[in-house]
Structure 1
Amino acid sequence: MKIHQLFTASLYEPKKLAAFRLLPIGKVFQYVFLFVFLSTAVSFVRFLVGDIDLFGASDDLIEYAETVGALLYPIAFVLQLAVSTFYLFLRVSFFGWLGKGLLYVMKRRGEYRHTWRTAAVSITAPILLSLLLDSFHVAGTVNFLVTGAVHLLYIGRAVSYYPKKPVPSVK
């Protein structure tokens, strides 16, 4: 399955989103890293144009940034890439765990690895919404709560298409 097909299906088709739990983990990682690079690029561009003031907190940091000169930009990009990677994988893991809880509540079959993959592919709308809210300078807590609710909604819709647990027969 191609990345653009994953992208469109993750936004509009919860049944396919549930089926993506069976994707190879490499394809899921590839998809998540697409958003890692997207969020890193947006953050880095905002840093370049001066929309984000990373060094405004301390005069020592500003002086150090001037000392480093042009080397600051590749360092900033690599650090933003590392932070974005850590944040997105932590977020996917957290929402995969919440998805596992939804499996239990909705009496559906599945494992953590299935809900993790569903959470990873269903991150499309929350990340796009997060980038939009971030461009309007919405506070980080509000941003996380709104996008977290959207992410949980997408996972919940997908989990509703997981197979049901068998009812134990009484003999």
Structure 2
Amino acid sequence: MNIFKQFFKSLYSPKDIALFRFQGIGKTILYIFFLTLLSIIPSSYFLSTALIDGVNTARESIEEDMPDFTIENGQLSSEENRPVTINKDGFTIIVDPTGAVSEKDLSNEDNAVALLQNELVLVAGGQDQVHPYSMLGLNLTKNDVTQLLTNLDSMMGILVPVMIVVIYLFSSAIKFVEISILAFFGLMLKNLAGRNLQYRHLWRMAAYSVTLPTIFFAIMGALQTQVPGGFLIHWFVSLLMLYLAIKEIPKPTVKE
């Protein structure tokens, strides 16, 4: 059975998952890489799009709306004597050489970059990071930042594929760990079901048992829909599929 048939069978057939326990380990590993590739497509797309759009938006906003500024000797200076806030496409840019805006004032922002009097504040997904200019050793002007973003935009054809490869490798490693843990729980499930299985058999079965929840959450990610209790649902469905697959294996014959 080829990898695509295995994929579709694993979505609904514990009986077929049970049969996969006899196949070679190499084919199972290949299937895990294939499944991981499918699972990261939505997140990779949205992350790449957000990165590209974010760089373009930031560059355009800086060129058109941001006042001239200079960061020198650990302090921001500008001809503006008041804070300047730019909101564009759900992204906020703040320039404040006066000290009126602080890190706490950014607590309600989801995605923002703030050039404050003495520090750079980055906010992504509601989480902020503060970087004092003096520690960064920054000496920048508006033109320097614009040129930096222009160079970054021209490198997106390289940066985005590299980023996707890193995400893929990291996700694959996580998937292998997940399957190994699931197979460990399978040792308890096979005792509960009274089946004679070794860990290597359970590991192969676990690799296919995670198919349904993995694809479900990939689809939810593509729809940008948050699933409450997603972690617990993922593990519950994986364990259930593995247990049903174990139940499909005949019980060992008891000799009289």
TM-score grouping bracket, smaller chain normalisation: 0.7 to 0.9
State the distance in 1 between where 2:190 and 2:13 align.
19
Q: Give, in angstroms, the shift of residue 153 of structure 1.
A: 0.9
- 1:138 and 2:210 are equivalent in the alignment: no
**Secondary structure of the residue that 2:250 maps to in structure 1?**
coil
Q: Which moved more, 1:9-18 or 1:148-157?
A: 9-18
- The structure with the greater share of residues assigned to strand is 2
State the distance in 1 between where 2:164 and 2:130 align.
21
Give the equivalent residue in structure 1 for 2:4.
Answer: 4
Contact 1:17–1:158 under 8 Å retained in 2:
yes
- The structure with the greater share of residues assigned to helix is 1
Q: Give, in angstroms, the shift of residue 166 of structure 1.
A: 4.3
Give the equivalent residue in structure 2 for 1:34.
Answer: 34
State the distance in 2 between where 1:74 and 1:8 align.
28
TM-score (norm 1): 0.82
TM-score (norm 2): 0.57
Contact 2:194–2:251 under 8 Å retained in 1:
yes
Give the equivalent residue in structure 2 for 1:147.
Answer: 234
**1:78 paired residue among 157, 162, 165:** 165
Identity %: 30
Q: Give, in angstroms, the shift of residue 14 of structure 1.
A: 1.5
Which deviations, in whole Å up to 9, do the C-alpha atoms of 1:3-43 show, x marking residues without a partner? 12112221222212111100111111111111111123222
Contact 1:133–1:143 under 8 Å retained in 2:
no
**1:106 paired residue among 193, 200, 209:** 193
Structural RMSD (CA):
2.5
Give the equivalent residue in structure 2 for 1:97.
Answer: 184
Contact 1:9–1:17 under 8 Å retained in 2:
yes
State the distance in 2 between where 1:8 and 1:23 align.
17
Give, as a single letter, the amino acid of the residue that structure 1 aligns with 2:12. Y
State the distance in 2 between where 1:117 and 1:92 align.
9
Q: Give, in angstroms, the shift of residue 125 of structure 1.
A: 0.5
Give the equivalent residue in structure 1 for 2:68.
Answer: none
Gaps of 5+ in 2: 52-110, 112-122, 132-144
Contact 1:43–1:80 under 8 Å retained in 2:
no
Q: Give, in angstroms, the shift of residue 59 of structure 1.
A: 6.6
Q: Give, in angstroms, the shift of residue 74 of structure 1.
A: 3.0
Q: 1:137 to 1:50 in 2, by over 3 A?
A: farther
Which deviations, in whole Å up to 9, do the C-alpha atoms of 1:61-81 show, x marking residues without a partner? xx8x95755243233212201
Give, as a single letter, the amino acid of the residue that structure 2 aligns with 1:156. Y
Give, as a single letter, the amino acid of the residue that structure 1 aligns with 2:226. H
Give the equivalent residue in structure 2 for 1:44.
Answer: 44
Gaps of 5+ in 1: none
Contact 1:18–1:162 under 8 Å retained in 2:
yes
Give the equivalent residue in structure 2 for 1:18.
Answer: 18
Q: Give, in angstroms, the shift of residue 107 of structure 1.
A: 1.0
Contact 2:184–2:199 under 8 Å retained in 1:
yes
Q: Give, in angstroms, the shift of residue 105 of structure 1.
A: 1.2
Contact 2:213–2:234 under 8 Å retained in 1:
yes
Which deviations, in whole Å up to 9, do the C-alpha atoms of 1:36-60 show, x marking residues without a partner? 1112322210102229x7x724476
